[in-house]
Structure 1
Amino acid sequence: MSLSRWAAKPAAASGSRRSPSGLLQAWLPKLVLAPSIAISLFFVYGFMLWTFILSLTGSRMLPSYDFVGFAQYARLMANDRWWVASSNLVIFGGLFVAICLALGLLLAILLDQRIRQEGALRTVYLYPMALSFIVTGVVWKWLLNPGLGIQAMVRGWGFENFRFDWLVDPDMAVYTLVIAAVWQASGFVMALFLAGLRGIDDSILKAAQLDGASLPSIYWRVVIPCLRPVVFSAVMILSHIAIKSFDLVVALTGGGPGYASDLPATFMYAHAFTRAQIGLGSASAMLMLGGVLAILIPYLYSELRNRRHG
C-alpha cells in the first residue's frame, strides 16, 4: 500500500504542472483584455479623478494646481445661473421620465393586442431613437419657430390669434426640450415595455380572466406590477439621458432665451470652455457625476440584492 501511494504522488504532481500551451490558453484572454482595461481606466476613471482635482483648484484658462479646497463648489452654489440650470433639470427630467413612461406603456399595451401591421408601427415608433439629439433638436427648432413652424401654419389656416411661441418664451422654453426629448425616447421605452409584456406568462392573465377581472383591472393589478423591473430599468436609463443632455439643448434652444433653458451640462460647457473657468466647470461636472451615481448606485444595489436572494 505504501509503495503504491508513493508511486501515485509523482504522477499527480506531474499532472498538476501545466504545459506552456496550457498556460498560454489560461493567460491569453487576460492579455487580450489588458490593453482595453488599461485604456478605460486611464481615459475614463483617470479623467474623472483629474476633473475632481481641477475642481479643487483655481484653474481658469489653463489647468493650474493652486488648491483652493471647496471654494469652487461654494462659488457654484452662489451662482444664479447654476440654480436656474438645476431647477430646469428637475422640470425637464421629471416630465421627460414621467411622460416617456406613460406614453411608452400605453403604446406597448396597444401593440400587445396583436393588431395588424404591428411590425410597421413598431418601426415607426422606434425610428426617432435612431436619430441623434442634434437632428431632433434642429427639426423641432423648425417646427416650434413662431415664424416658420406650427404657429405660422395654423395662422395660415385662418386662426390669426393662435399662439405657440414657447421657443422664444423664457418661461416655456424648457418645455420645448421636453417635447423633443419625449418624441425621441418614448419609442425606446415602448420597446422595453413590449418585451416585458411578451415575457409575462399567459396563464396568469387567463387565471385573472377566469376570476372575472376586466381588462383594465388585469393590466392595472396584474400586468403593471409584473413590469416593475422594466419600469426601474427605464427610469434609470431616462434619468441618465436627462442628466447628461447637452446636444439637444444646444441644437434646439442654445440654452436661451438668455439662459432660461440651461441645463447643468450646458452650464458646465459654458463656464469651462467659453468663459475660461475650468475650476468652476469641473465642480459642476462633479456634481453632475454625483447625480448619475445617485441613480446608478441604488440600481446596482437592487440588482446585487436580487441575485443574492434569487
Structure 2
Amino acid sequence: MSSAGSAAMAGGTSFGEKLRRWVPIMVLAPSLIASFVYVFVFSGWTLYISLSDSTLLPTYGFRGLQPYMDLWANRRWGVAYSNLFFFSAFYVAAAMGVGLLLALLIDQKVRAESFWRTMFLYPLAVSFIVTGTVWQWLYNPTSGFEFLMKSLGWTDFQFALTTDRKNAIWAIIITGIWQSSGFAMALFLAGLRSVDGDIVKAAQIDGASTFRTYRKVILPSITPIFLAVAVVLLQFAIKTFDLAVALTNSGPGISTTFPATYVYDLMFQRGEIAEGAAAAMMILAALAVVLVPYSLYLVWRRRRELNRG
C-alpha cells in the first residue's frame, strides 16, 4: 500500500508539473496562431494579389511588378509618400519634445500630479476619428478659432488651415501632436522615475544644478526610452488614416493624401485591388524599416546585458 501510494503521488506530481507547463502554452496558442495568420498568411496573400491582375475582385493571373510600376508612376502616390515623410518628421519630433517637456515639469513633484498626468494622457484614450472630427470643427472658419476671434473683434484674423492647400497638412500635424504627446509624456515620466536616486543625489552633492543633472545624468540614462517612443510614434505616423480622413478627407485636392488613405481609395473607391495591394505592401515595407532594426537592437541589447552578467 505504501509503495502504491507513493507511486500514485509521484504520478500525480508529474501530471501537475506537466499541467503547469502546458497551461500557459494552451492559453497563448490561440492568440499566437491568430497573430501568425493575421501577419504572415495575410501579408503573403496581399503580396500575391499585388503581383496579380486583380481589379474589382481578386484574381490570380500573374502580372509581375506592373502594379508597383503603375503605383509609383501615379502622381498622387508620390504626394502621399512625400506627405508621410514630412508629417513623420515634424509629428515625431514635436510630440517627443512636448511629451518630454511635460514629463520634466510633472517630475518636479507638482501638486495634483495624478490630475495632470490623467489630463495629458486623456487624448490618447479618444479615438483618432473622434479627435479628427472635433478638431475639424475647431479649424472650420464658420465655427472654430477663426469665428471666435472675429466675434471678439479681430475681423482680419484667419485660421482656416484645413481649406488651404499649402497648410492643410499642418492641421493634421498639430492634431497628431495633441493626440500623442501625452503618450510620450507617460513613457518619459516612467523613465525619469526609474533612474537610480543615488546617482542623482551624488550629482547634486557634487554641486550640479538641476538643469545639468537632467542633461548629464538623467536624460542620458533613459536613452532607450527615447528610441522606444520614436519607434511607436513612427508606427502611428506610417499608419495615419483616421486623422487625415476626419480633418481634410485627403484634401483640398490631393494635398493631404497619405499612403493609408490612398490604399483605401484604390481598393474601395476605384476598384484597383492589385495596385492597392502594392501600396499596402509599400506601407508594410515602411513599417519593416522601422521595426526590424529596432527588434535587432533589442536583441543585441539583451545579449549584451546577459554577457555582462
Scaled by the length of structure 2, what TM-score is found?
Answer: 0.91
| 1:260 counterpart residue number | 255
Which amino acid letter does the alignment assign opposite residue 64 of structure 2?
G
| 2:113 counterpart residue number | 118
Deviation at 1:303, TM superposition (A): 0.7
**For the residues of structure 1 that align with 2:158 and 2:77, how far apart are their CA atoms?**
30
| 1:157 counterpart residue number | 152
Change in Cα spacing, 1:214 to 1:262, as seen in structure 2 (3 Å) is same
Within the candidate set 295, 299, 302, 2:294 is matched to 299
Within the candidate set 172, 177, 185, 2:180 is matched to 185
1:283 has 2:278 as partner: yes
State which structure, 1 or 2, has the greater radius of gyration over its C-alpha atoms.
1
1:228 has 2:236 as partner: no
| 2:241 counterpart residue number | 246
Identity percentage of aligned residues: 44
Question: Gapped runs of 5+ residues in structure 1?
Answer: 1-14
1:167 has 2:186 as partner: no
| 2:50 counterpart residue number | 55
**For the residues of structure 2 that align with 1:92 and 1:19, how far apart are their CA atoms?**
58
**For the residues of structure 2 that align with 1:26 and 1:111, how far apart are their CA atoms?**
43
**For the residues of structure 1 that align with 2:282 and 2:105, how far apart are their CA atoms?**
40
Q: How many residue pairs get matched?
A: 298
| 2:139 counterpart residue number | 144
**For the residues of structure 2 that align with 1:288 and 1:131, how far apart are their CA atoms?**
24
**For the residues of structure 2 that align with 1:181 and 1:276, how far apart are their CA atoms?**
30
| 2:5 counterpart residue number | none
Deviations 1:32-75 (A, max 9, x none): 44433333322332111100000101211001111111111111
Scaled by the length of structure 1, what TM-score is found?
Answer: 0.91
Specify the SS of the correspondent of 1:298. helix
**For the residues of structure 1 that align with 2:235 and 2:104, how far apart are their CA atoms?**
25
Within the candidate set 38, 45, 53, 1:43 is matched to 38
Deviation at 1:23, TM superposition (A): 5.4
Alignment root-mean-square deviation, CA: 2.1
Question: Gapped runs of 5+ residues in structure 2?
Answer: 1-9
Specify the SS of the correspondent of 2:182. helix
Deviation at 1:28, TM superposition (A): 4.6
**For the residues of structure 1 that align with 2:26 and 2:142, how far apart are their CA atoms?**
60
| 1:95 counterpart residue number | 90
Which amino acid letter does the alignment assign opposite residue 255 of structure 1?
S
Deviation at 1:105, TM superposition (A): 0.5
Change in Cα spacing, 1:284 to 1:156, as seen in structure 2 (3 Å) is same
Deviation at 1:216, TM superposition (A): 1.6
